[in-house]
Amino acid sequence: VIAVCDKEAAERCPIFPAEKERLHWPFADPSALAGDREANLARTREIRDEIRSAVERFVAERFPGTR
């Protein structure tokens, strides 16, 4: 299980019955952003890109040779 919430929300993450491993990847919560629409949109895109990079690194490390 990979949780992608911030530290505060991680405490409320659900428990999965057959969970073998839990990874916590803390990312900012886009719904909690304050500011104007354009600034929030830009930051949301940054968070999206951070998540994409983390997933790509995870796949490369755990499953070498796959894409």
Q: What angle do CA 33, 11, 1 make, to 5 degrees?
A: 95
Tens-place pLDDT, residues 28-55 = 889 899 999 999 999 999 999 999 999 9
Tens-place pLDDT, residues 7-32 = 677 677 777 788 788 888 889 889 89
- pLDDT for res 19: 73
- Residue 3, sorted as left (phi over 0), alpha (psi -120 to 50) or beta, turns out to be beta
SS3 for 43?
A: helix
Q: How far is CA 35 from CA 6, 13, 25, 29, in A?
A: 19, 27, 24, 14
Measured distance CA(14)–CA(35) in Å, rounded: 30
- pLDDT for res 22: 81
